Amino acid sequence: MGTSLKRPANAVHRVLSHARLSTVLLALGASGAALAQGQGGAPSYKAAQAERGKAAYNTSCALCHGANLDDGEFGPSLKGNRFRDGWVGKTALELFDYTSRTMPSAAPNSLGAATYADLLAYILQNNDLAPSAQAFPTDAVALQVAKMPWNLSPQGQLRAGGPSGGLSPGVALPRWPAPPNPLLKAGPVTDSMLANPPAASWLTWRRGVDGVGFSPLKQITKANVKDLRVAWSLSLPPGPNEGTPLVHDGVMFLHSYGDHVQALDAKTGDELWHYIRRLPDGVQPTFKRNIAIYGDKVYTATSDLHMVALDMKTGKVVWDEPIGEAVQGVRVTGGPLVIKGKVMQGVVSRAPGGGYLQAFDAETGKPAWRFWSIARPGEPGGNSWNDLPLEKRNGGSIWTASSYDPELNLIFFGPAPTYDTGPLAKPVNKKGITNDALFTNATIAVNPDTGERVWHYQHVANDQWDFDWAFERQIVRMPVNGQVKKVIVTGGKQAVYDVVEADTGKYVSSFDLGLQNIITKIDPKTGKKTMDPTLYPGDGQKKLVCPHAGGAKNWIPGSINPETGIMYVALVESCMDLIPVPAGERGSLSTGVRWAIRPRPDSDGRYGRLQAVNVATGKTVWTDRQRAPLTSGTLATAGGVVFQGALDRWFQAYDDATGQPLWKARLTDVPNSAPISYEIDGKQYVAVVVGHGGSHAATFPALAPDISLPAVRSSSVWVFELP
In sequence order, the β-bridge partners of residue 262 are 254, 274
How far is 417 from 373, CA to CA, in rounded Å? 10
Residue 41 binned pLDDT confidence (cut-offs 50, 70, 90)? confident
593 closest CA partner among 532, 640, 549: 549
Say which CATH architecture domain 185-277+284-721 belongs to.
8 Propeller (2.140)
Higher pLDDT pick, 238 / 447:
447
The DSSP 8-state label assigned to residue 305 in this structure reads: S
Q: Average the pLDDT over 405-427 and give the result.
A: 96
pLDDT reading at 409 higher than 80: yes
At 696 the pLDDT is: 87
How far is 125 from 58, CA to CA, in rounded Å? 15
Q: At what angle do helices 113-125 and 92-102 cross, to 10 degrees?
A: 120
Taken as a whole, the chain contains a residue count of 723
Q: ∠ at Cα 489 (210, 513), nearest 5°?
A: 135
Please report, in angstroms and rounded to a whole number, the separation of the first and last CA atoms in the chain. Answer: 43
Parallel, antiparallel, or unpaired for β 330-331 and 337-339?
unpaired
Instruction: Note the pLDDT tens digit of each residue in 126-148.
Output: 999 999 999 999 888 889 899 98
Please report which helix (H) or strand (E) contains residue 397, including its range.
Answer: none
Q: Average the pLDDT over 222-239 and give the result.
A: 96
Sheet of 483-491, strands arranged across: 474-480, 483-491, 496-501, 507-512
Instruction: Note the pLDDT tens digit of each residue in 650-684.
Output: 999 999 999 999 999 999 999 999 999 999 999 99
Return all residues near 707 (Cβ < 8 A) that are at least 6 apart.
627, 628, 647, 648, 701
Amino acid residing at 82 = R
Residue 321 buriedness (CB in 10 A; 0-12 / 13-18 / 19+): middle
pLDDT reading at 635 higher than 70: yes
At 30 the pLDDT is: 32
How far is 191 from 53, CA to CA, in rounded Å? 52
How far is 477 from 514, CA to CA, in rounded Å? 25
Residue 160 buriedness (CB in 10 A; 0-12 / 13-18 / 19+): exposed
pLDDT reading at 28 higher than 60: no
Mean pLDDT of the chain: 91
Residue 201: half-sphere exposure toward Cβ, Cα within 13 Å = 20
- pTM for this prediction: 0.89
389 closest CA partner among 427, 423, 430: 423
Instruction: Note the pLDDT tens digit of each residue in 688-711.
Output: 999 998 888 889 999 999 999 998
Q: What percent of the chain has pLDDT over 70?
A: 93
At 4 the pLDDT is: 45
pLDDT reading at 399 higher than 80: yes
pLDDT reading at 37 higher than 80: no
Say which CATH architecture domain 2-158 belongs to.
Orthogonal Bundle (1.10)
Q: Average the pLDDT over 299-309 and give the result.
A: 97
pLDDT reading at 506 higher than 70: yes
Return all residues near 440 (Cβ < 8 A) that are at least 6 apart.
373, 374, 395, 396, 415, 416, 417, 418, 458, 463
pLDDT reading at 279 higher than 90: no
Return all residues near 171 (Cβ < 8 A) that are at least 6 apart.
164
Q: Is the peptide bond before 651 cis (omega within 30 degrees of 0)?
A: no
pLDDT reading at 76 higher than 70: yes
At 100 the pLDDT is: 86
For 370-404, b/e burial (b = at least 16 CB within 10 A) is: ebbbbbeeeeebebbbbbbebeebbbbbbbbbbbb
Q: What percent of the chain has pLDDT over 90?
A: 78
Higher pLDDT pick, 469 / 169:
469
At 695 the pLDDT is: 84
At 311 the pLDDT is: 98
Q: Average the pLDDT over 506-527 and give the result.
A: 98
Q: Are residues 217 and 640 in contact, defined by beta-carbon separation less than 8 angstroms?
A: no
Q: Average the pLDDT over 46-59 and give the result.
A: 95
Q: Average the pLDDT over 504-514 and give the result.
A: 98
How far is 220 from 686, CA to CA, in rounded Å? 9
671 closest CA partner among 652, 655, 707, 647: 647
**What's the Cα-to-Cα distance from 123 to each of 68, 115, 133, 136, rounded to whole Å?**
10, 12, 17, 11
pLDDT reading at 154 higher than 60: yes
In sequence order, the β-bridge partners of residue 620 are 613
SS3 track for 558-617: CEEECCCCEEEEEEECCEEEEEECCCCCCCCECCCEEEEEECCCCCCCCCEEEEEEECCC
Other Cβ atoms less than 10 A from the Cβ of 539: the count is 12
How far is 127 from 416, CA to CA, in rounded Å? 55
Q: At what angle do helices 47-60 and 113-125 cross, to 10 degrees?
A: 100
Amino acid residing at 89 = G
pLDDT reading at 177 higher than 60: yes
At 166 the pLDDT is: 63
627 closest CA partner among 551, 550, 704: 704
676 closest CA partner among 712, 706, 707, 644: 644
Q: Is the peptide bond before 701 cis (omega within 30 degrees of 0)?
A: no
Sheet of 608-614, strands arranged across: 559-561, 566-572, 608-614, 620-626
How far is 452 from 371, CA to CA, in rounded Å? 8
Instruction: Note the pLDDT tens digit of each residue in 545-580.
Output: 999 999 999 999 999 999 999 999 999 999 999 999
pLDDT reading at 200 higher than 70: yes
Q: Average the pLDDT over 709-716 and give the result.
A: 89
How far is 486 from 520, CA to CA, in rounded Å? 28
Other Cβ atoms less than 10 A from the Cβ of 605: the count is 11
What is the domain partition of the chain in residue ranges? 2-158, 185-277+284-721
Q: Taking the mean position of all CA atoms in its chain, how far away is CA 261?
A: 11
How far is 302 from 287, CA to CA, in rounded Å? 9
How far is 585 from 262, CA to CA, in rounded Å? 44
How far is 249 from 433, CA to CA, in rounded Å? 53
For 109-128, b/e burial (b = at least 16 CB within 10 A) is: bebebebbbbbbbbbbbbbe
Lowest pLDDT segment from 6-10, 36-40, 376-380, 483-487: 6-10
Residue 423: half-sphere exposure toward Cβ, Cα within 13 Å = 16
Other Cβ atoms less than 10 A from the Cβ of 75: the count is 24
Residue 327 binned pLDDT confidence (cut-offs 50, 70, 90)? confident
DSSP string computed for 277-291: E-PPTTPPP---S--
Instruction: Note the pLDDT tens digit of each residue in 592-627.
Output: 999 999 999 999 999 999 999 999 999 999 999 999
pLDDT reading at 307 higher than 50: yes
499 closest CA partner among 483, 518, 485: 485
Residue 72 binned pLDDT confidence (cut-offs 50, 70, 90)? confident
Q: Most distant CA pair in the chain: distance in Å?
A: 86
Residue 266 binned pLDDT confidence (cut-offs 50, 70, 90)? very high
SS3 of residue 543 by DSSP: strand
pLDDT reading at 290 higher than 70: yes
674 closest CA partner among 139, 207, 133, 193: 207
